[in-house]
A and B are shown apart, each in its own frame.
Chain A
Amino acid sequence: MGREQSMKPDYKVLAYVTTNKDRVIASAGVALFATSEKDANEMTVDIAKGLKADVVQLTNGDYMVIRV
């Protein structure tokens, strides 16, 4: 994206929700483990609603709650 990266919008990762324990690592945002796909989806939606943030679903099925 070149120059755009240094300009607004500024992205912040607020939470990472995964069903794979190996991917729960300490980071700037909250990394949460969900027991099922349904659980992950619900957790993500709730967090996104609460924080007024957007959700990105990764190809591996994990969710990332980000704020633009």
Chain B
Amino acid sequence: MGKQQISSEDITIIIIALIIGTLARLLVLKEDYRQYPSFPNGYLIQVVTGFVAAALGAVAIPALMTKNFVAVTFLTLALQQFRDVRKMEKESLTELENTEYTYRGSAYIDGIAKTFESRNYLAFITALCTSLVITVLPFNLWVNGAIGIVVGITVFYLLKYFTKGKSIGDIAQVKPGKIEVKDSSLYVDGMYVSNLLGTENAAKLVKEEGLAVVIYPNEQHYRINLDNFGQRQAALFEATRALGNKRWNFTRKDYEEGRIIIALVPIKQDIDALIEVVKKCPLLESTKKADEILKPKLKGEK
């Protein structure tokens, strides 16, 4: 075997780390009510980029151990690749904006793109840790491999827990709203929403087929998140995406009590699904505020 050739031990380390890293990406790649990424093309793209991320993580340690210090550039390569994933997602979703029932909004797109980027980091770090543990442990390869797999799985769950975001259902109650049409205006639970129902047909359609939910924040400070236009647009988008949208969709906030209204004329008449989808809508990272650090203690205050 020549000096430049990789040893069979290194190949085993790389393969184990690569499998664990790719599995980590696969386990967080789920198609849920949001229907994104779409199956099968979106899946394939994400699995392949996840595989590449895991490969970068798996190869870095064995390369360094063979005094191939150029391998450090792998890390910069990884960063660049992950940034490209975010950019790709952002561009793709932005281009789709005009073809959806309603806008996702730039805040939501940014959140989705960041999630895809971070999931590649997850695959990378899991593979890197697995590879590191197998390399540094003093036992034989198979024992090291088994411990490496356990460490990889633990790192995966820790990262998954760490990156898990909250949803609207965690900070607010979502209840069905009563739709009324007075003159040409739409009201939900007595709150004005829109006056776009100027024709008889419009009023009739909304009265007969319109659905609405009202979001009640659990605490007053949660209004900072819920009042955010991007957050409301994200909830409205998920509602139209899940139930379809025959005509009209509205979101409105109540300044006095902080209620948020989501109203639409859906294709699928299912109020329970509408409540569920709004509850599950993720809280956008850009709207997140930690209430505790919004109450700074002044000098002398206890």
Q: Does the CB pair A56–B229 fall under 8 Å?
A: no
Question: What's the least CB distance linking B196 to chain A, in Å?
Answer: 4
Q: Does the CB pair B229–A45 fall under 8 Å?
A: no
Question: What's the least CB distance linking A68 to chain B, in Å?
Answer: 7
Q: Does the CB pair A55–B229 fall under 8 Å?
A: no
Q: Does the CB pair B196–A54 fall under 8 Å?
A: yes
Main SS of chain A's interface residues? mixed
Interface size on B, residues (CB 8 A): 12
Q: Does the CB pair B199–A45 fall under 8 Å?
A: yes
Q: Does the CB pair B184–A56 fall under 8 Å?
A: yes
Q: How far is the CA of A59 from the CA of B183 in the complex (A)?
A: 9
A residues 13-68 near B (Cβ < 8 Å) are 41, 44-45, 48, 54-57, 59, 63-64, 66, 68
Question: What's the least CB distance linking A2 to chain B, in Å?
Answer: 9
Main SS of chain B's interface residues? loop
Q: Is B103 positioned at the interface, with any CB of A under 8 Å from its CB?
A: yes
Minimum CB distance partner of B106 in chain A: A7
- Summed over the interface, the residue pairs from A and B with CB atoms below 8 Å come to a total of 34
By a CB distance below 8 angstroms, the chain B residues around A3 are 229
Question: What's the least CB distance linking A12 to chain B, in Å?
Answer: 13
Q: Does the CB pair A55–B202 fall under 8 Å?
A: yes
Q: Does the CB pair A64–B198 fall under 8 Å?
A: yes
Q: Is B35 positioned at the interface, with any CB of A under 8 Å from its CB?
A: no
Q: Is B195 positioned at the interface, with any CB of A under 8 Å from its CB?
A: yes
Q: How far is the CA of A62 from the CA of B44 in the complex (A)?
A: 55
Contacts known (A8-B103, A68-B196); A54 close to B229, Cβ less than 8 A: no
Interchain CB contact (< 8 A) of A56 among B195, B201, B248: B195
Question: What's the least CB distance linking B117 to chain A, in Å?
Answer: 25
Q: How far is the CA of A64 from the CA of B196 in the complex (A)?
A: 9
Question: What's the least CB distance linking A49 to chain B, in Å?
Answer: 9
9 pairs, A vs B, C-beta closer than 8 Å:
A54-B198, A54-B202, A55-B197, A55-B199, A56-B196, A57-B199, A63-B198, A64-B198, A68-B196
Interface residues, chain A, with chain B CB atoms under 8 Å away: 3-4, 7-8, 41, 44-45, 48, 54-57, 59, 63-64, 66, 68
Other A-B pairs beyond A4-B229, A57-B183, 13, CB < 8 Å = A3-B229, A7-B229, A8-B103, A41-B199, A45-B199, A45-B201, A54-B196, A55-B196, A55-B199, A56-B195, A56-B196, A57-B195, A57-B198
